């Protein structure tokens, strides 16, 4: 067995272990399990972090469909998250819909928006598309927060939108499984797309859009479809988030940082693969939480005051982003996938290819 094959084995085993842990550990918090004297593996903090991680798995995997497979690096996908969140939130808070009825509308609303915005936007290439999509992300958040009708904010304004708490036993566990389910759906959708005609069409568009067009790929329709699919999945995460968090506003539903985080996660894990973005999401989210001091194990730097930790975390994130982009653009999975070895030589070669 070659080294890379060995690494692949290790990675698969590790991945399965993580998934098994994520699925089974929460069960120890059930009353039934406690009655059997099983050790409590999860607590409120665990559920919170795990649910957020699953949320990012959805977003990174979804981004991968438009960014990684199709090659259109959208920089404003958080707009779909927020639209999903506010769609569900508004239906529950204002129209008094039950949660499970409001949730399916989140991906629908996000997808419709993606089609409307995608038709003009996806005609742009490279920089123009990237910043235009960034502009969408920023502008939508702003509009949602500030749009008034006759002096009253439509979407709750600066004070945000509150929803009644979803009454269900083991609420933390419920929402974690829900988000985990969404993550599973995202991954399954990506898996199905990659080995379908649609997927090949998207990759063709990424590799050479003009060539794709002349062999019969309806590039506009395919791009918009990929965009809408990514939007729908991201919107689903937003919808779940809204009810889970009970409160939404511009800051927690349209955070600009999410845009880059989901891209970095996909990049880290390997764009264009099925599990890459998910792996990147888990790893990066753990790192971010660690740096922010949210994990039980914290970093105590002697010269840094505690309230400065989140800011320092952002600095580290920026440095990490820079390092990943400079040294390992094809992602860690490229290494684990056997296509390259993470040696100094590889890093040097990578660097040589891109610098002047």
Partner 1 sequence: MTPQLDLRNVTKRFGGVAAVDGVTFSIAKGEILGVIGPNGAGKTTLLNCISGVYRLDGGDIRWHGVSIAGLAPYRVARLGVGRTFQIVKPFGSMTVRENVAVGALFGSDSERPPLRAAFDRADSVLELVGLRMKADLPVSALTIPDRKRLEVARAVATRPKLLLLDEVMAGLNNVEIDDALEMVRAVHETGVTVVLIEHVMRVIVGVCERVIVLDLGRTLADGQPDVVLRDERVIQAYLGERYARRLRGG
Partner 2 sequence: MADLVQLVTIGLLAGGIYAAVGVGFSLVWGVLNIVNLAHGALVIVGAYLTWQIFTASGLDPFLTLPIDAVALFAFGYVVQRGVINRIIRAPLLFTFLLTFGLNLIAVNVLLLIFKSDFRSVTTVYSGAGLDLGGIVVPYIRLAALGIALLVAAALALLLNRTRVGLAIQAVGSDRDAAQLVGIDLRHAYAVTYGLGAACAGVAGGLIAMIQAITPTAGEPYTLQAFVVVILGGLGRVSATVVGGLVFGLVEAFAQSIPGSGSVFANAIAFGVMVLVLVTRPQGLLGRLR
Q: Which is nearer to partner 1, 222 or 244 (CB)?
A: 222
> Could you tell which of partner 2, partner 1, none binds residue 355, using a CB distance below 5 to 8 A set by kind?
partner 2
Measured CA to CA, the distance from residue 28 to residue 34 in angstroms comes to: 7
Q: Which stretch binds partner 1 (CB under 8 A): 76-84, 97-105, 191-199, 251-259?
A: 191-199
Q: Which of 112, 124, 203, 347 binds partner 2 (CB under 8 A)?
A: 124
Q: Which stretch binds partner 1 (CB under 8 A): 15-23, 113-121, 204-212, 244-252?
A: 204-212
Q: Which of 6, 9, 125, 195 binds partner 1 (CB under 8 A)?
A: 195
Q: Which of 35, 95, 167, 214 binds partner 1 (CB under 8 A)?
A: 214
Q: Which is nearer to partner 1, 217 or 332 (CB)?
A: 217
Site for partner 2 in 28-87 (CB under 8 A): 67, 73, 75
The yes or no reply on residue 301 touching partner 2 (CB under 8 A) is no
Measured CA to CA, the distance from residue 91 to residue 109 in angstroms comes to: 12
Q: Are 293 and 311 a contacting pair, CB within 8 Å?
A: no
Q: Which stretch binds partner 2 (CB under 8 A): 19-27, 107-115, 272-280, 348-356?
A: 348-356
Report in angstroms how near the CB of residue 219 gets to partner 1 at its nearest: 7
Q: Which of 5, 34, 159, 218 binds partner 1 (CB under 8 A)?
A: 218
The yes or no reply on residue 287 touching partner 2 (CB under 8 A) is no
Q: Which stretch binds partner 1 (CB under 8 A): 13-21, 201-209, 282-290, 342-350?
A: 201-209
**Binding-site ranges for partner 1 (CB under 8 A):** 195-197, 200-201, 203-204, 206-208, 210-220, 272
**Binding-site ranges for partner 2 (CB under 8 A):** 67, 73, 75, 120-121, 123-124, 126-128, 130-132, 134-136, 138-139, 142-143, 145-146, 148, 260, 263-264, 267, 308, 311-312, 314-315, 317-322, 325-326, 329, 351, 353-356
């Amino acid at each position: 067995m070659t080294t890379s094959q060995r690494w692949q084995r290790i990675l698969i085993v590790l991945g399965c272990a993580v998934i098994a842990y994520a699925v089974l550990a929460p069960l120890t918090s059930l009353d039934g399990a406690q009655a059997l004297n099983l050790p409590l593996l999860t607590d409120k903090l665990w559920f919170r972090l795990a649910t957020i991680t699953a949320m990012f798995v959805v977003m990174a995997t979804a981004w991968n469909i438009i960014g990684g497979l199709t090659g259109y690096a959208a920089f404003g996908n958080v707009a779909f998250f927020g639209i999903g969140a506010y769609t569900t939130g508004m239906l529950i808070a204002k129209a008094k819909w039950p949660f499970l009825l409001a949730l399916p509308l989140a991906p629908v609303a996000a997808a419709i928006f993606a089609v409307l915005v995608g038709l003009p936007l996806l005609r742009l290439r490279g920089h123009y598309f990237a910043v235009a999509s960034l502009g969408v992300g920023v502008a939508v958040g702003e509009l949602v927060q500030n749009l008034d009708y006759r002096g009253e904010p439509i979407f709750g304004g600066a004070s945000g939108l509150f929803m009644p708490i979803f009454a269900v036993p083991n609420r933390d566990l419920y929402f974690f499984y829900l988000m985990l389910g969404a993550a599973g759906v995202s991954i399954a959708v990506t898996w199905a797309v990659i080995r379908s005609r649609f997927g090949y069409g998207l990759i063709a568009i990424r590799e050479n859009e003009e060539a794709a067009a002349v062999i019969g790929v309806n590039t506009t329709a395919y791009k918009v479809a990929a965009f809408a699919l990514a939007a729908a999945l991201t919107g689903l995460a937003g919808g779940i988030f809204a009810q889970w968090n009970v409160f939404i506003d511009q800051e927690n539903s349209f955070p600009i940082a999410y845009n880059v985080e989901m891209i970095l996660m996909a990049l880290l894990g390997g764009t264009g693969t099925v599990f890459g973005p998910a792996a990147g999401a888990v790893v990066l989210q753990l790192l971010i939480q660690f740096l922010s001091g949210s994990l039980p194990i914290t970093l105590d730097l002697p010269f840094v005051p505690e309230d400065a930790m989140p800011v320092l975390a952002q600095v580290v994130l920026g440095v990490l982003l820079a390092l990943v982009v400079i040294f390992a653009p094809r992602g860690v999975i490229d290494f684990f996938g056997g296509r390259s070895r993470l040696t100094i030589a590889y890093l040097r070669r990578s660097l040589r290819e891109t610098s002047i």
